[in-house]
Amino acid sequence: MPTAVIAATRAEIRDLLRDYAYALDRKQLSTWPSFFAEQCSYRITTRENLERGFPLSIMLCSNRAMLFDRVEGTEKANIYEPHFYRHILSESDIRAQPSELIEACTGFLCVRIMLTGEMTLFACGEYRDEIVRENERWLFRSRTVVLDSSKIDTLIAIPL
């Protein structure tokens, strides 16, 4: 059964979530894989997909090499109109599994800002995370981005 975590651990987990969001919002895309554990997965899906048990993903990286590929692709291909994100995170629900795996669930909202200055409420939903301690750092074993809306820009170029 999951148990509550102590305040110090909670603060450290929040630091991980915060640093991840700031890294994306500051377009430090090359640091993105460094937030993940050696064995990891990253997936963007929708609430509807998840509830209906559909395996569809909007983005899926099932290991660390795929994260690096993703970054490289995004930086080199440059096939999307340049834009910035601004993430706002809600309070997290953080629980520890007996295996010392930490589970965190965090509501978020993401604004997209185009170079023209146009701001759009781009995405909202929940981060569902499995977090592990590796090399004295907290890292994502898995991060699933569950979007509230299934009407998604077909091209999510930058990870959320």
**Minimum distance, C-beta of residue 125 to a copy of itself, in the bound complex (Å):** 7
Which range touches a copy of itself (CB under 8 A), out of 61-69, 89-97, 127-135, 136-144?
Answer: 89-97
Residue 115 is encoded by which pair of tokens?
């170079």
Shortest Å distance, C-beta 4 to a copy of itself:
9
| Torsion sign (Cα): 39, 45, 50, 56 | negative
- Give residues 7-36 in contact with a copy of itself (rule: CB under 8 A): 7-8, 11, 14, 17-19, 21-22, 25
For 12-20, the CB contacts below 8 A with 24+ separation are 12/138, 13/92, 13/94, 13/102, 13/104, 13/131, 13/138, 14/92, 15/138, 16/131, 16/138, 16/139, 16/140, 17/89, 17/92, 17/104, 17/106, 17/127, 17/129, 18/89, 20/140
52 contributes a contact to a copy of itself by CB under 8 A: no
Q: Which stretch in 37-45, 72-80, 82-90, 128-136 sits in contact with a copy of itself by CB under 8 A? A: 82-90
Please report, as ranges, the residues that interact with a copy of itself according to CB under 8 A.
Answer: 7-8, 11, 14, 17-19, 21-22, 25, 47, 84, 86-93, 105, 107-109, 111, 113, 116-121, 124-126, 148-152
